[in-house]
Structure 1
Amino acid sequence: MLDKTLPYFHIIMKRKAGLPIAQHALPAEFSLSAFVPGDEMEWAHIETAVGEFMTADEALAYFQETYLPHRNELIRRCMFVRRDDGRAVGTITSWWNTTEERRDPSVHWLAVLPDYQGLGLGKALVSECLQRLVWLEGDRDIFLHTQTWSLIRQLQST
């Protein structure tokens, strides 16, 4: 869970164009899948479970407003890690941010359900996301916005 008692600060990380992308495979009992209509409910569940939203309804409203208007892009850019039974346990989105007139490739909403953290699922999602962004946007600088709440959680888990 996020530690929201800490002061909130934006953190922007950048993968410079041309750098190699580490390959991380999923454990055998998991697979990657692309977004299909209806997956927004699983996205909302995952993001709420990790503390990014207070309620699944709030997460779903965000998803519907931000991503669903770009359905064709969403299908190419939003991914899930699924268990063998098909249940989604992690997600990431290979998206973009717009700064003035410039569109920058960006990693959005990496999350893995708490019971599945520490299995390498996040590493595999990031690897796939970065590869997909290079394929979709060209080998350009790629950005990730995070916050102190998440950074502290990561430091505590290592």
Structure 2
Amino acid sequence: MENTPEIKTRLDKVIEWIGEKLSLIFLFIVAITFLEVFLRYVLNSPTIWVHETAIFLGGSLFIFGGAYALATDKHVRVVLIYDNVTTKTRHWLNIFHHIMGLTFSSMMTWAAYKMAKESWIKPWGDWQLETSGTAWNTHFPAYLKAIILITMIIVSIQFILKLIAEIRLLLGGKNV
């Protein structure tokens, strides 16, 4: 059985490049976590910033991971079915996947917009970023909600571009 060509848009290539650079942040998270453990348990001098920073950075990378997985075609797929059908059927399964993905990411974008708006703008209209409520009391929750919104917009655009490219492939055209 021949393989279905992988659809790789320009946006996918940019996301993959950014993702490879951002993955280095995991090393920073490990380093500051090690620093915190050393300061807390060896020197008995814990920090107020490491835990919150590590969670924010890790959460941000996790959110971006969805766009990266879609860009690198590493998302979950039922290969038992997908690998045992014809190339034309694979194209139809991909189209179905992209439509469902677009539907889901569009709904997530709307929910992320509402969540981000509430964390940036108070009900009475004042601009005020949500804070963590910890001793450090950063604006990380508001920033993270904005990152979720931006990432979901990007994922929605990815699904649109992949859907267009898949339809072109099905109709005998070129990949994007």
TM-score of the aligned structures, taking structure 2 as reference length: 0.24
- As a proportion of its length, which structure holds more strand? 1
Question: What is the TM-score normalised by the length of structure 1?
Answer: 0.25
Structure number with greater Rg is 2
More helix by share: 2
